[in-house]
Amino acid sequence: MALPLLLMYLLLGNAVFAEATLIRVPLRRLHPRHRTLTPLSTWGRSAQGPRLGSSASDDKPTFVPLSNFMNAQYFGNIGLGTPPQNFSVVFDTGSSNLWVPSTRCRFFSVPCWFHHRFNPEASSSFQPIGTKFAIQYGTGRLSGILSKDSLNIGGIDGASVTFGEALWEPSLVFTLAHFDGILGLGFPSLAVGGVQPPLDTLVEQGLLERPVFSFYLNRDPEEADGGELVLGGSDPAHYIPPLTFMPVTIPAYWQIHMERLSVGTGLTLCAQGCGAILDTGTSLITGPSEEIRALHVAIGAFPFLGGQYFIQCSKISTLPPISFLLGGVWFNLTAQDYVIQIPQAGFRLCLSGFQALDIPKPAGPLWILGDVFLRTYVTVFDRGDKKTGARVGLARARPRATERRGGGAVRAPFTAHPS
């Protein structure tokens, strides 16, 4: 009697998931030849407070958004207000606030003049809040005021979200950026000003069934099509099963435990286990400087500009795989995955996808798995609930030619994720 009931339960469960609405947000990518590679040496520093993970005066941990947005390649569109005013934003798992430039920005805030700006007077649903906010990112900072208005994302319309109108963006990083603003997908504890993150708002207002989203990033550097952000679940057409899930160890960043990292068969890093953060706002993979130095020696890379490393393009086929042990499963990167190839005046410039970043205790040492890793593996970010807790799922991305293409809000098959 128990077996038929179990089968019925599973069938019903799968039927429910199959009807889950997956909201698709197409992503664009910045072509590598137009990309500015900027040193990451300022990551984790705050101009107005303690460094990443250090203790503030009230003995509470301080979380600083990690993402290096000058290197961010993947971004998509949202609408704010009624009627919607369109903005290009980075969907960033390393921070938790939504902000865009404002028409009320200061005259000498140069980034405002090069990007779309939100006009509160043009929106019939605008609600002023006026509370000041300031965010210090790894390579840029901004400040402004909080406001409330309707968010349109991937066909979801009518979510009333609190967001930042940027009034002052003194950092060059935002002037040169190919996006207008940032939509953070981190945890509430990371949000500046105690603002509810957009994902939480969508779920609370019943516009998104589950606090789950996934990224598929297109690996083809010649395509402007950057892949998809899928809200509400994941699309099996994007990956090769199974998904390997692992728990989030600290619910601020999407941080998990990495058992170790191997370079070919001759070098083991993170030998005693370490923390790893999955960050869509970061282009490269970063780690402690001593271990990154050893990794580059092992693959024969040479120091280049801004802490990056040069690799001879002719040797890519001979370089060893680099493997990450996560959740008891090895996730491998070939040299084609971890070497960044940039066309320059008829030549190719080949750079390592790894860079040093020393994050101090108590938060560090940490590795950050950015787009170099996330292009190869589809990542499912699941906030979970009070019973299951947050978790991250990884699976090898399918080759682009074999997957389904789509856009907008659609109903698509959904695979139940095992606990």
List the structure tokens of 46.
């705050």
Give the whole-angstrom CA distance, residue 374 versus residue 58: 36
Residue 413 backbone phi and psi in degrees, to 5: -55, 140
List the structure tokens of 419.
């606990």
Give yes or no for a contact between 89 and 280, defined as CB atoms under 8 angstroms apart: no
Give rounded-to-5 percent helix, strand, coil for the chain.
20, 40, 40
Give the whole-angstrom CA distance, residue 364 versus residue 348: 35
Q: Which residues sit opposite 283 in a β-bridge?
A: none
Q: Which residues sit opposite 119 in a β-bridge?
A: none
Three-class DSSP category at 330: strand
Residue 311 backbone phi and psi in degrees, to 5: -125, 140
Give the whole-angstrom CA distance, residue 232 versus residue 20: 7
Give the whole-angstrom CA distance, residue 378 versus residue 157: 26
Please tell me which residue in 92, 200, 235, 382 is annotated as part of the active site.
92
Element (H, E) at 159: strand 156-168
Residues 365, 370, 374: CA angle, nearest 5 degrees: 130
Please tell me which residue in 180, 200, 235, 279 is annotated as part of the active site.
279
Residue 279: active-site member: yes
Q: Which residues contact 120 (CB under 8 A, 6 or more apart)?
A: 81, 102, 103, 104, 126, 128, 147, 149, 165
Q: Are strands 285-287 and 354-356 parallel, antiparallel or unpaired?
A: parallel
Give the whole-angstrom CA distance, residue 40 versus residue 286: 9
Three-class DSSP category at 238: helix
Count of CB atoms within 10 A of residue 244's CB?
18
Residue 385: active-site member: no
Give, in order, the Cα–Cα distances in Å from 395 to each of 27, 325, 373, 412.
Answer: 19, 13, 11, 19
Left (φ > 0), alpha (ψ -120 to 50) or beta: where does 300 sit? left
* Residues recorded for the chain: 419
Residues serving a catalytic function are 92, 279
